[in-house]
Chains A and B, each alone.
Chain A
Amino acid sequence: MTVSSASKPASPSAAFPQENRLADRWEIEIRRRRLYTALTVFIIAGLTLASLVFANETNAGKFFDRLPYFFDFFGDLIPRDAMEPIRALFDLPSPYDNGSFKYDYPAGRHDFIGVFYIPEYFMAMLETLNIALLSTMIGFTFGFLFSFLASRNLVRSVWIRGAVRRLMEVLRAFPEIVIAGFFVAIMSLGPIPAIAAVAIHTIGALGKLFFETVENADMGPDEGLRASGASWVERVRFGIVPQVMPNFMSYTLLRLEINVRASTIIGAVGGGGIGELLRLSISRGHEAKTLAIVFLLFCTIVAVDQFSAWLRRRLIGEQNFGLA
């Protein structure tokens, strides 16, 4: 009794400290948060500093020693006249030709019909594009087949699903360069190692995206087919594939963009194509050739990206149209 009577008159004043406590609490929370943020920033800054020192120590040239020469390199890229990169790009004879590799543009011509020829870099670019396209196709085929075996709603057996998923994980994480190197060792330099490397990685990457799509598919059609006695293949073919195909195509096109870049890089480490030519011309200091290749590569990558974006928009659009 006495307690309650004592607390009663005190309640307005007690409410005030409570409010204060809330504000204090807020202050403490804020302070703690700031401390955490500061700590995180501090740790990241420390790690970055250590990393930079380490990188600089183990680099062949030191950052501050090399910095003054940094733009020299871009200066070295200036050709002798504005027409030189164009001549290099289309394999036209150069007025500076002195028999060296630097100006021997017409030497790379691929004879076509009569006086027509395919310039060296266009041919190499075509090779790289073909590598990308073919390996995307291979990746799509296998990723497509694997994805149905890996999805929970179509395969009940944990073993099959697990095995296919683990396989795809390994294919995805395995360094591409090792696959390329291994195939180079057994079948010497050429485009096939590059195709194998890019395709194997693509199987893993697309397979993962595909089976996630399949798992999110609407199982209504599947149920209907099952009720009418369809086999597993028929259920997949008529119940799932029509739903997921637009998404599959969209992912494949995205992958194609990535693969154009990947096959360029793989080319530089022994797979042929434009990547190798670029690496050679940069390391030999052939400025006009380098500019020509970079320009060609830039245009191709932009073109492929734009084309794929346009096609994807159409596919998704069609899908929406179909649903409506």
Chain B
Amino acid sequence: MTAIDYDAISERHEELLQANKWKRFAPLIMLVAIVFYSVYCWWFFAVGETLRRVDLSIAENYLADWISYEARPDFDIETDGAMQIVFPRFSPLGKDPKPDWIVIERGTMEREIGGGSQNSSAGSSAGSGLPATGFTGEGDQIGTTSQKRPATGFMGEGAQLGTTSGGGSETGEEAPTTETVNVVRSAQVSFGNAGEIDVTPKRVTVKRGGESVVLVIDVDRSVRPQSPLPDWAAQKYEDGKVTVRFGFDGRAEIEDDAVKIRRRFFGWENFLFDINSPYFGMSTGEVLNTIVRGERLDPSRSNLSLAWNNILYNASWQHLDVWIKLLQTIVMAFVGTLFASIVAFPLAFLAARNITRNRFANHLTKRFFDFQRSVDMFIWALFFTRAFGPGPLAGISAIFFTDTGTLGKLYSESLENIDGRQREGVRSVGATPTLVQRFGVLPQVLPVFASHALYFWESNTRSATIIGAVGAGGIGLKLWEAMRTNQDWENVAYMVLLILITVYVFDRISTALRVRLMRQN
């Protein structure tokens, strides 16, 4: 068509080309609408406000927790220069660990116990030690370390204070008792290739790359950097704590009464044996050796069954529980879909217009299906959780109810689309109505039915995770609980990995079966 033809047509049928104008501007109008809607959503959800509050370093830490773990030794420093290394109670390194990345030089020193000056400083130690809330999301950590403190810290002295000050005002003159204690004189903490920290009670030297910074600690008063801080170190307030970062390898906080090391290691810690297991700390060879020919660690059973038991009941990974929950999810999807397809099967015959020639029955069944689908799986899950209590029964019922509706609708639609000639042929030889369905209808629709059921089985394996989180059983709830603590991101990663594998496997099985079914058809 040339331009002349076009002009000729537009002269004759102006309205044809006019109608296109609206169409031409439709994308532009839609774009403007979308921009306006986005602005509205920005305001409605207060996106800007929320994003301003987000602390990216927390996100970074949580993400790193998926595939790594932290060891968290603290060096606590007293006013008189006594330094102790303290590990949290449930350290992934086990009880009383001696990691090779910390080189400690120990020594003894005479410490005064009691005496006025000691008391007052102990008080201020409590004051500055407890509000150590700098590490967000590690409340547990702080709890355990400050519980640990009594052994060396202020509480012991506080108790001392109670007994000695009972004597009266001459506490200051009372001869202070001394005792010899074992302390850490200096320690060298290596952060792999990233850097290292030398800790002494008065001075902390941090090296990263070619740069190094010296921090002088005046116990309970201040932390003073001796040179301008490089960009991997930060001090928010003058004399306050200094945070140094070593990238993935960890970070450290130097406070005026403690040096807190957070050393990060790649991997899932204690994946097989937890720190209470006799197998803890053994290499694979040692474990195998112990199982095959070692002395019985527990006289009542063999080493193999002990090892298996320790793995199943591993306190930090809870393998058995996770596996049971995963199996629940699989069972929920399987039984729910199976029952749904069994119930939807006869109902679909009732709903199909060409099978049951009764408008009222068709309509009633179809509206019933619509009702089941529209009251969402999630609502059914909440209802059944109330009825059966939390667990897979609620999940099975929820999937069953929703999918009876969905499958029923799909089944009745494929029944309405069948080829009528086969049915006619079977009827023409005088078959009873049941036999007409059996030989005229069923062979056509059965592969389609099975294919739909398989597809929903597969997709339910995925969605069963999420209804589990509202209490309907399965791994969803466990995932949710693990995420709520903000501590166990490695467990979340483990469960996600299991879910992805399961979904992948079931996807493959279902696809293979469906392809076979379709080929037969």
Contact = CB atoms under 8 A, between A and B. Distances in A.
**Interface of chain A: mostly helix, strand, loop or mixed:** helix
Interface string B361-401: 00000000010001111110011001111111110100000
Interface residues of B, number: 62
Contact of A268 (B37, B374, B378, B462): B378
Contacts of A298: 374-375
**Interface of chain B: mostly helix, strand, loop or mixed:** helix
A217 interface: no
A305 B479 CA distance: 31
Contact of B386 (A51, A73, A294): A73
Interface string A49-85: 0011011101111010010011001000000000000
B335 A51 contact: yes
Contact of A261 (B376, B476, B499): B376
Interface string B82-118: 0000000000000000000000000000000000000
Given A177-B480, A178-B483, A182-B483, A265 B378 contact: yes
Interface in A162-191: 173-178, 181-182, 184-188, 190-191
Interface string A302-324: 10010000000000000000000
A47 B334 contact: yes
A92 interface: no
Interface in A75-108: none
B376 A297 contact: yes
Interface string B41-63: 10011010011011100110010
Nearest to A197: B466
A177 B465 contact: yes
B45 A282 contact: no
Range for the number of chain A residues in contact with chain B: 35 or more
A186 B469 contact: no
A52 B483 contact: no
Contact of B335 (A55, A181, A192, A279): A55
B517 interface: no
A60 B382 contact: no
B392 A55 contact: yes
A195 to B, nearest CB: 7
A264 interface: yes
Contact of B499 (A66, A175, A302): A175
Interface in B450-484: 462, 465-467, 469-470, 473, 476, 479-480, 483-484
B338 interface: yes
B324 A58 contact: yes
A266 B334 CA distance: 23
A7 interface: no
Contacts of B500: 173-174
Contacts of A186: 54-55, 58-59, 62
Given A70-B387, A268-B470, A301-B374, A175 B479 contact: yes
B492 A275 contact: no
A181 B382 contact: no
A177 B476 contact: yes
Contact of B389 (A60, A175, A177, A283): A60
B392 A58 contact: yes
Nearest to A72: B387
B44 to A, nearest CB: 6
Contacts of A59: 388-394, 473
A54 B327 contact: yes
Nearest to B379: A294
A39 to B, nearest CB: 15
Interface of B: 34, 37-38, 41, 44-45, 47, 50-51, 53-55, 58-59, 62, 137, 324, 327-328, 331-332, 334-335, 338, 370, 374-379, 382-383, 386-394, 396, 462, 465-467, 469-470, 473, 476, 479-480, 483-484, 486, 492, 496, 499-500, 503-504
For the complex of A and B, 5 pairs with smallest distance between CB atoms: A59-B391, A60-B389, A61-B389, A181-B483, A55-B392
